[in-house]
C-alpha cells in the first residue's frame, strides 16, 4: 500500500517552474531515495510533502488522507517527521531537553499547564530511551550548540525519530560528514529506521545505493525514472542527466 | 545536590523574611517606594514571559498594564462596594482579553515587526484613553478612593494605612509571580521556551507555533493587567501615563538591566531602577541621562544583566567542599 502519494504536483516560485507534474508513490516499509543533480527540485519536493511549501497544483496524500493544505504541525502529528539538511535543533537546550521536546509532543502534553514537567516519569523514561537508541546518553546534559558537528547530525536524527513516526523523511542526513562518519551514520540510520518507511534525499551515491530499496531520479523538476538500484545504475537517461549530454 | 537544595531554601527564606518585615525596618516614606517596586516587579515578570521565554520583544507592553489600570479605576469609581479581589481580577482579565486581541495580530510576526506592531497597538490604546474623555477623563486622569477591606469575623482593614497596603499588594504580587514561576515549570512553559529556541523545528515536531505564542502572550497580558490594577490602588489615580510609550520603554529597560535570561532577573532590574531613580532624582532633574548611562553600560559590559553578577556556582563549590 502506498503510504505517501504525490499526485500531479506542480510548483513555481513567482514564474520559475521548479516542479513539473511530479508523481510519486512510496510504499509502506520501503526505503526510498530521491536523487538528482543540483537544482533538480529535490528539496522543494521535500518541503512540499512536509507542509513547508504548498504546491501550485496537485495533491499529496499521506496514509490515505489529503495533506495538501494541512499546516506543518498537523502533518507532523499524523506521523510524518523530517530532518533537515542544515543543523536545526534547540541550541540552548541540552540534548536531553531537545529530545524531550519531541516526546512531550508525542504524548500531546504541549499545552499541559497543570503538571510539572520534571515530575513526569513517563516523559523522562521515554526521552532517555531515545537517547539510548541513538547512542547519545554520554552527551545527555550537554547543550546542543556545544556538540560537535557529527553529534549534532546525530541529534537531528534523534529529533526526527523520537515521535516514533510512520514515515521518516531525511534531507541529506550525512551532509558534511567524512567518509568514516558517513559509513557509521548509515548503519545507525538503518538500525533506527528498522521496519519504518523512509524517504531520503541524498547526494552521496554510496549512501543511496547502500540504503535504498527504490530510487527516484529527479531532473529539471521532472521525474526521470523510479526503480530499484540496479535499474537506476543501468539507466541511460540517468547517466546522461548526471554526466551531461555528449 | 543536598547542599544546593538547602542553599536555595536558605535564599528563599532570607528573601521571604526580608520582604515580610520590610515595612518595620524602613521609614514610612520608603514603604511607598517598596510598594512601587513590588508592582513593577510583577509587571516586569509578566513582560519577561514574552521577552525571556518566547524570545519576542514587545515594545508596547504597557497596553495591558494600562488596560488593567483603567478597568480597575472605572470599577472603583462606578461600581462602589465591589470587593477588591474582584476589581483586581477584572483588571487582570481585561489585560488578558486585550492581549488575546493584540496578540492575534502580532504573534505571527517576528523581530522588529512584532516589536513595532505591539507598540502601534499600545499607541492606539493610549489614543483611546486620551480622547475618550467621557469615560477616561483624558489626560486629567481619574482619581480613585482606596476601599476598605472586610474580613468576615475579623473586622475591616483600612488601605489608607500604608503598611496595610504594603501587605495587600505583597499578597497579590506574590500570587502573580508564583503563577508565572509555576507556569515556567509546566510543559506549556517548556513549549514557550522551545518557541524562543527554534519555532520552526518545534512546528515540525507537532507544536502549533501560533497558538502557543498567543497563549503565552495572553497569559503575560493577564499578569500585566493584575499589576495595572495594583498600580491604581497604590496611586489612587490613573492617567494616560499608565498606558503611554514611556511606560512601555521603562519596563523594557528595567527587564534588560536586571537580565532577561533568568526568571528573577527582571525583578533585580526593577529594584535597581527604582532605588537609583529615587536617589538620583533628589540630586538632579536629568536623572534619565544617568539611567541611560547605566543602561548602556549594562548592555555593553554585563551581558545577562545584573542577575549575572549573582553567581551561585562559587557558593555551591564551597558547600560541596564542606560536605566532602
Between chains, do A115 and B187 touch, taking CB under 8 Å as contact? yes
Between chains, do A88 and B201 touch, taking CB under 8 Å as contact? yes
- In this structure, are residues B223 and B179 in contact, taking their beta carbons and an 8 Å threshold? yes
Which residues of chain B are within 8 Å of residue A109 when distances are taken between CB atoms? 187
**Neighbour tally for A206: CB within 10 Å:** 13
Q: Is the pLDDT of residue A237 over 90?
A: no
pLDDT at A193: 87
Q: Which residue has the cell 531537545?
A: A98
Residue A70 touches partner B, C-beta closer than 8 Å: no
- Say how many Å lie between the first and final Cα of chain A, rounded: 40
pLDDT at A143: 93
ipTM of the complex: 0.92
Task: Tell me the domain boundaries of chain B.
Answer: 29-323
Name the minimum distance, in Å, from the CA of A128 to any CA of chain B. Answer: 17
- Closest Cα in chain B to A77: B206
**Helix/strand/coil for B120:** helix
CA distance A134 to B216: 33
DSSP of B200-217: HHHHHTT--HHHHHHHHH
Query: pLDDT tens, A9-49?
Result: 899 888 888 888 889 999 999 999 998 888 888 889 989 99
Q: Is the pLDDT of residue B51 over 90?
A: yes
pLDDT at A39: 80
Angular region, A196: left φ>0, alpha ψ -120 to 50, beta rest: beta
Query: pLDDT tens, A193-215?
Result: 888 899 999 887 878 888 889 99
Which residues of chain A are within 8 Å of residue B209 when distances are taken between CB atoms? 73
pLDDT at A245: 52
User: Which of B205, B213, B222, B223 is the best residue to mutate to test the A interface, defined by the most A CB atoms within 10 Å of its own CB?
Assistant: B205
CA distance B63 to B77: 21
- Percent of chain A exceeding pLDDT 90 equals 48
- Domains of chain A: residue spans and CATH: 1-79+165-246 (3.40.50.300), 87-164 (no CATH)
Helices B209-235 and B162-184, axial angle in degrees (round to 10): 170
**Cell reading at A104:** 512531550
**Helix/strand/coil for A153:** helix
pLDDT at B316: 65
Q: What pTM was computed for the model?
A: 0.91
pLDDT at B315: 65
Which CATH number fits the domain B29-323, given the four candidates 1.10.3470, 1.10.8, 1.20.1510, 3.30.300?
1.10.3470
**Neighbour tally for A81: CB within 10 Å:** 25
The upper half-sphere exposure of residue B60, i.e. CA atoms within 13 Å in the direction of its Cβ, equals 24
CA–CA–CA angle B189, B190, B194 (5° rounding): 120
Query: pLDDT tens, B190-223?
Result: 999 999 999 999 999 999 999 999 999 999 999 9
- In this structure, are residues B198 and B204 in contact, taking their beta carbons and an 8 Å threshold? no
A residues 99..158 contacting B (CB < 8 A): 100-102, 104-106, 109-118, 120
Q: Which helix (H) or strand (E) holds B128?
A: helix B111-131
CA-nearest of B76, B226, B230 to B145 is B76
Span B237-242, mean pLDDT?
Answer: 89
Own/partner pairs for B71-75, CB < 8 Å, 24+ apart? B71/B225, B71/B229, B72/B228, B72/B229, B72/B232, B72/B233, B72/B238, B73/B142, B73/B144, B73/B232, B73/B238, B74/B135, B74/B142
- Closest Cα in chain B to A93: B197
Amino acid at each position: 500500500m502506498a503510504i505517501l502519494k504525490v499526485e500531479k504536483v506542480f510548483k513555481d516560485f513567482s514564474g520559475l517552474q521548479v516542479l513539473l507534474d511530479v508523481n510519486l508513490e512510496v510504499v509502506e516499509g520501503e526505503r526510498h531515495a530521491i536523487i538528482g543533480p543540483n537544482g533538480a527540485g529535490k528539496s522543494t519536493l521535500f518541503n512540499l510533502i512536509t507542509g513547508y511549501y504548498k504546491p501550485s497544483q496537485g495533491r499529496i496524500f499521506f496514509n490515505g488522507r489529503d495533506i495538501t493544505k494541512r499546516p506543518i504541525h498537523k502533518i507532523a502529528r499524523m506521523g510524518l517527521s523530517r530532518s533537515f539538511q542544515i543543523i536545526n535543533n534547540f541550541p540552548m537546550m541540552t540534548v536531553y531537553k531537545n529530545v524531550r521536546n519531541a516526546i512531550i509532543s508525542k504524548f500531546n502534553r504541549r499545552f499541559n499547564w497543570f503538571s510539572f514537567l520534571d515530575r513526569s516519569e513517563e516523559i523522562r523514561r521515554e526521552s532517555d530511551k531515545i537517547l539510548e537508541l541513538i547512542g547519545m546518553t554520554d552527551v545527555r546534559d550537554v547543550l546542543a550548540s556545544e556538540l560537535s558537528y557529527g553529534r549534532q547530525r546525530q541529534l537531528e536524527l534523534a529529533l526526527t525519530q523520537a515521535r516514533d513516526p510512520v514515515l521518516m523523511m531525511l534531507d541529506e542526513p550525512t551532509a558534511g560528514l567524512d567518509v568514516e562518519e558517513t559509513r557509521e551514520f548509515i548503519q545507525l540510520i538503518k538500525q533506527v529506521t528498522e521496519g519504518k518507511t523512509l524517504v531520503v534525499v541524498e547526494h552521496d551515491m554510496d549512501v543511496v545505493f547502500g540504503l535504498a530499496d527504490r530510487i527516484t531520479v529527479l531532473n529539471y523538476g521532472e521525474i526521470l525514472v523510479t526503480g530499484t538500484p540496479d535499474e537506476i545504475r543501468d539507466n541511460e537517461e540517468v547517466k546522461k542527466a548526471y554526466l551531461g549530454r555528449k | 545536590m543536598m547542599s544546593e537544595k538547602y542553599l536555595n531554601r536558605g535564599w528563599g527564606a532570607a528573601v521571604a523574611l526580608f520582604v515580610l518585615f520590610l515595612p518595620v525596618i524602613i521609614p514610612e516614606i520608603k514603604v511607598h517606594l517598596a510598594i512601587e517596586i513590588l508592582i513593577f516587579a510583577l509587571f516586569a515578570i509578566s513582560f519577561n514571559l514574552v521577552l525571556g521565554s518566547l524570545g519576542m520583544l514587545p515594545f508596547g507592553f504597557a497596553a495591558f498594564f494600562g488596560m488593567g489600570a483603567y478597568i480597575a479605576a472605572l470599577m472603583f469609581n462606578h461600581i462602589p462596594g465591589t470587593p477588591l479581589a474582584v476589581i483586581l481580577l477584572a483588571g487582570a482579565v481585561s489585560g488578558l482579553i486585550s492581549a488575546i486581541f493584540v496578540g492575534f495580530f502580532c504573534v505571527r510576526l517576528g523581530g522588529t515587526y512584532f516589536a513595532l506592531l505591539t507598540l502601534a497597538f499600545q499607541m492606539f490604546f493610549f489614543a483611546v484613553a486620551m480622547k475618550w474623555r467621557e469615560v477616561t477623563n483624558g489626560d486629567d486622569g481619574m482619581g480613585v478612593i482606596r476601599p476598605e477591606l472586610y474580613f468576615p469575623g475579623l473586622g475591616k482593614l483600612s488601605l489608607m494605612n500604608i503598611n496595610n497596603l504594603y501587605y495587600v499588594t505583597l499578597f497579590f504580587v506574590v500570587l502573580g509571580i508564583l503563577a508565572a514561576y509555576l507556569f515556567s515549570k509546566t510543559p506549556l512553559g517548556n513549549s514557550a521556551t522551545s518557541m524562543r529556541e527554534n519555532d520552526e523545528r518545534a512546528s515540525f515536531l507537532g507544536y502549533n507555533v501560533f497558538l502557543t505564542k498567543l497563549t503565552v502572550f495572553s497569559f503575560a497580558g493577564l499578569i500585566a493587567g493584575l499589576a495595572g490594577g495594583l498600580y491604581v490602588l497604590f496611586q489612587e489615580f490613573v492617567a494616560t501615563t499608565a498606558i503611554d510609550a514611556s511606560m512601555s520603554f521603562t519596563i523594557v529597560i528595567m527587564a534588560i538591566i536586571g537580565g532577561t535570561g533568568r526568571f528573577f532577573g527582571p525583578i533585580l532590574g526593577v529594584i535597581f531602577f527604582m532605588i537609583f531613580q529615587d536617589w538620583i532624582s533628589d540630586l538632579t532633574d536629568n536623572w534619565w541621562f544617568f539611567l541611560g548611562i547605566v543602561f548602556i553600560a549594562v548592555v555593553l559590559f554585563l551581558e545577562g544583566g545584573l542577575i549575572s553578577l549573582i553567581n551561585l556556582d562559587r557558593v555551591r563549590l564551597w558547600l560541596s567542599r564542606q560536605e566532602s
